[in-house]
Amino acid sequence: MSTKGEMFAGVSVAMITPFRQGEVDYAALDRLVDWHVQQGTDCLVPVGTTGEAPTLSHDEHERVIAAVVDKAQKRIKVMAGTGSNSTREAIRLTRFAQKAGADGALVVGPYYNKPTQEGYWRHYNELAQIGIPIIIYNIPGRTASNILPETIIKLSSLPHIVGVKEATGSLDQASQIAQETDLTLLSGDDSLTLPLLSIGGRGVVSVVGNIVPGDLSQLVRSYLKGQPAEALKWHRKLFPLCKDLMSIATNPIPVKTAMKLLGRDAGEFRLPMCELDAAGESKVKQALKAYGLL
């Protein structure tokens, strides 16, 4: 099966951003890139929601993209988060990602201002003129507005709109997009990866991939190789971790806490994100123990 953004099929990991004493820890960021290369992750997604992008300055946003691209050295693909609720700002960030050498740009629907469907069309049409492959990120739970299937179908006619990170939770919406476009459909919810694959999806942009990228890769690759029973086995193993961990608090708080408990260098949070209390950390520990990681 060939889709428009097939280069992004597989497991992309929405990277955390490590902070140390209030600043981005670029040495720790480099180590994370190396670790994902060793784990066989297909693509890295810096400065998304999981990377606490809303708390980064414009300069930091660009520096993190450049640092990940430079450290990747083409050993692993990079899909840079370049979305904004300002079209002008999204254009600037996307142009920077292209200049820095990113393989693609993940562009979330404009948040808070709740565009009309015509506004969404014009926003992504402007971005599509830049020339870098663009993956639309549709997550109404964060943006307060849904990019409707009809709008995404219309956008699919633009050469550089190549995929959708689908996080509406609606299999009906995802099915319509998969059926009526050649866009590469990627799950935006770890727990829905297998259901999305079953209707034509090609992979996932994952949060729990920060801790178990290899297991997610086993799930996705099994399904794409025509081994649905094997993929279902991995889904059943991963599902409790995906649901239990991510329900404890807002992303990326649980996954950064999990990384800390596993001895991984996740660094600090930046306000308004903050550490869990003792009860919350205990729940993360229980989820990791149940999975066999502790």
Residue 2 confidence class, pLDDT cut points 50, 70, 90 = confident
The residues annotated as belonging to the active site are 137, 165
Q: Residue 172's closest CA among 190, 154, 146?
A: 146
Environment class of 148 (CB within 10 Å of its CB; exposed 0-12, middle 13-18, buried 19+): middle
Kindly tell me if the per-residue pLDDT of 214 is higher than 90: yes
For the chain, what percent of residues have pLDDT higher than 90? 99
* H helix or E strand, kind and range, residue 204: strand 203-206
Peptide bond into 115 cis (omega under 30): no
| Predicted confidence (pLDDT) per residue in 236-279, tens digit | 999 999 999 989 999 999 999 999 999 998 999 999 999 999 99
Peptide bond into 272 cis (omega under 30): yes
Radius of gyration of the chain from its Cα atoms, rounded to whole angstroms:
18
Cα distances (Å, whole numbers) of residue 23 to 17, 19, 26, 160: 10, 5, 9, 34
Domain boundaries, the chain: 6-227
The structure's pTM equals 0.96
Pick the CATH number of 6-227 from 2.60.40.1940, 3.40.30.10, 3.30.200.20, 3.20.20.70: 3.20.20.70
